[in-house]
Amino acid sequence: LRDLLRQLYLENQLASKDILYILNKVDDSNKEILFNYAEKTVLKTYQKKVYLRALLEFSNYCRNNCYYCGIRNNNREIKRYRLSVKKIIKCCLLAYQHGYRTFVLQSGEDDFFKEDILIKLLQRLKSNHPEAAITLSIGEYPYKSYQRFYQAGADRFLLRHESISKELYKKYHPDMSYSRRLQCLKNLKKIGYQVGAGFIVGLPGQTNKILTEELLFLKKLNPDMVGIGPLIPHPKTPLAGSQTGSVDKTLLLLSLIRLLLPETLLPVTTAVNTLDKKGWEKGLKAGANVIMPVISPAISRGKYEIYQNKGNTDVSNLSEIKKRVERSGFKIDMSRGDSLKCLKTK
């Protein structure tokens, strides 16, 4: 195991059977070796910088029915909301005034937000804050729409592929298409976005063999960002009562992703910090370098319930975040924080 971890650290790649071997063998007695290599790697590529992104969840309407997600269309028990364009702009301004230079606009797949509304929103945000980066996380749209969003000012796009296993994808995403999801990622890349992919950790049926495929898929896709997080089954979904995804396993996977993709931007996602009060700290020590505080306004607090007990961070609560990041030996960087890969190709 030690030899393989060292080889992965030095070469940033490994054969499928070796990744599977690591996933099968790494445990509490040896995981520190992996974490140390991942931390060394992130320090080499991004030094001690931890980038902050202001995450605004602007609508919880969704046409889809993902088996794990609390805002799925069939869940009639949550209160739906959508923020107006004016409110979204106001929230981003507030985040900007607190120093944020990346706005992540996330929502369910909400048919209300047609191309024209989103374009108007993007143009206004870009003209208000030309130096800030805008990340969209709004799901699947046709190629042309993605292209228009890009031209209107969107810089980045997060679209988790959710599961690389065709079988699991089909099982947990009724009425959605595995190949369309992957095609969307390809389209986004082709258009020029900084692209984020990722998967859920702990979906029932997910084996180490599937996780090996996840890691190799990411290596091949070479995205600018990778978002992974543990499954937190929502009680009003078909996966209610399933086992919660493991934070420890997520941390191991974060480290492996860091070693396979040294330059990728890797957030400690909200789900990790929801399950573990020290989630941010542990994630950073495992090779992550991005934190995405939720900045949604009071009127929507608690309603973007993809899972329960999801914390919202006050935009102004930067000192608490700073304290936690610094205690882990890192420092906050409030710049746009583009991916190194994208900066090199500019």
Q: Which residues bind ligand SAM (CB under 6 A)?
A: 68-69, 106, 108-109, 137-139, 159-160, 162, 200, 229, 231-232, 234, 271, 306-307
Residue entry with tokens 């065709």: 166
Residue closer to ligand SAM, measured from CB, 50 or 56 = 56
- Residue 201 sits at φ, ψ, to 5 deg, of -95, 125
Radius of gyration of the chain (CA): 19
* Closer by beta carbon to ligand SAM, 91 or else 138: 138
CA 125, distance to chain mean position in Å, is 22
CB of 48 to ligand SAM, least distance (A): 28
Please identify which residue in the block is written with the tokens 């080889």.
7
At closest approach, how far in Å is the CB of 293 from ligand SAM? Answer: 16
Q: Which is nearer to ligand SAM, 127 or 309 (CB)?
A: 309
Of 106 and 194, which CB lies nearer to ligand SAM in the complex structure? Answer: 106
Beta bridge partners of 102: 133
Q: At which residue do the structure tokens 């931890």 appear?
A: 50
Q: How far is the CB of 79 from ligand SAM (least distance, A)?
A: 16
Rounded to 10 degrees, the C-alpha dihedral 115/121/125/127 comes to: 80
Q: Compute the residue count for the chain.
A: 346
Q: Quick one: 152 or 184, whose CB is closer to ligand SAM?
A: 184
Q: What is the nearest approach in angstroms of ligand SAM to the Cβ of residue 160?
A: 4
Q: Which amino acid is at 307?
A: Y
CB of 227 to ligand SAM, least distance (A): 7
- 170 and 140 in contact (C-beta within 8 Å)? no
**By C-beta, is 9 or 67 nearer to ligand SAM?**
67
Assess contact for 282 and 247: CB atoms under 8 A: yes
Q: If DSSP codes are grouped into helix, strand and coil, which group holds residue 98? A: coil
Q: Phi, psi at residue 293, to the nearest 5°?
A: -65, 135
Q: How far is the CB of 238 from ligand SAM (least distance, A)?
A: 11
SS3 137: strand
Comparison of 160 and 324: residue with beta carbon closer to ligand SAM: 160
Report the run of H or E that residue 272 belongs to, with start and end: helix 270-275
Smallest distance from the beta carbon of 186 to ligand SAM, in angstroms? 15
